Amino acid sequence: ETGVTQSPTHLIKTRGQQVTLRCSSQSGHNTVSWYQQALGQGPQFIFQYYREEENGRGNFPPRFSGLQFPNYSSELNVNALELDDSALYLCASSPSGTGGSVDPADTQYFGPGTRLTVL
Amino acid sequence: AQKVTQAQTEISVVEKEDVTLDCVYETRDTTYYLFWYKQPPSGELVFLIRRNSFDEQNEISGRYSWNFQKSTSSFNFTITASQVVDSAVYFCALSEMIYNQGGKLIFGQGTELSVKP
């Protein structure tokens, strides 16, 4: 058990709709990262939040957006859903590194994921 | 560009066999971190090990061992005396800095290990 939870477990949406996925990080972890994992692929980095601000983004369009809250919870929002958005969405939390900034050495602890199906 | 390659898509072994999962990476960074994660059918990625680029000492944890060779940019994972519970998808990942402020994980495609009784 990593202490990272995600909701919902499964979700079915239709093309063009909007979706919000939620994540609750381990207490004390100031960094949360979101990944998209298509079937049979490795996870792909979407973005990372540190102390409630975006700290880097992967190759995903602006319709993927996020929020991080002071209570160690966070959200991934996807607008105008497309069929290719069907995937497992994973959030990962990590403690802040030394010096108060995110450290690539920090281990990321993953939640169980939300499986999104877009019809 | 940073990249992680796991050339073995699927491996099938019989219980008690030893099995090695290969991982080759590319990076321009001199300081980097490598990880292995296990993903059972439930979907959650389980952290197994982290290794920094300055520590080439091999590591053993129970039936698991890791061989890091900087000269060949490889970080291979061996399971000794495999068990059915080891069946899962295993991912190798590289930690990359983001704008000198943090790290994102770059994953390989994964190796699906099936251990049969």
Could you tell me how far CA A48 lies from the centroid of its own chain? 8
Q: How far apart are CA B73 and CA B30, in angstroms?
A: 12
Per-residue confidence of chain B (117 residues) as pLDDT tens digits?
789 999 999 999 999 999 999 999 999 888 889 999 999 988 899 999 999 888 888 888 899 999 999 999 999 999 999 999 999 999 999 997 666 556 789 999 999 999 999
Average pLDDT along chain A: 90
B contact test, residue of A26, A68, A110 with most B CBs within 10 A: A110
Whether the CB of A103 is below 8 Å from some CB of chain B: the reply is yes
pLDDT at position A40:
92
Rg, Å, chain B Cα set? 14
For the record, the structure tokens of B19 come out as 């099995």
Size of interface A-B (CB pairs under 8 A): 86
For the record, the structure tokens of A105 come out as 């050495």
SS3 A98: helix
> What own/partner pairs with CB < 8 Å and gap ≥ 24 does B15-18 have?
B15/B82, B15/B83, B15/B84, B15/B115, B15/B116, B15/B117, B16/B81, B16/B82, B16/B83, B17/B81, B17/B82, B17/B115, B18/B78, B18/B79, B18/B80, B18/B81, B18/B82
For chain B, the residues whose C-beta falls within 8 A of a C-beta of chain A are 4, 31-33, 35, 37, 42-47, 50, 52, 91, 93, 95-99, 101-110
* Number of C-beta neighbours around residue B101 at 10 A: 15
Q: How far apart are CA B115 and CA A30, in angstroms?
A: 38
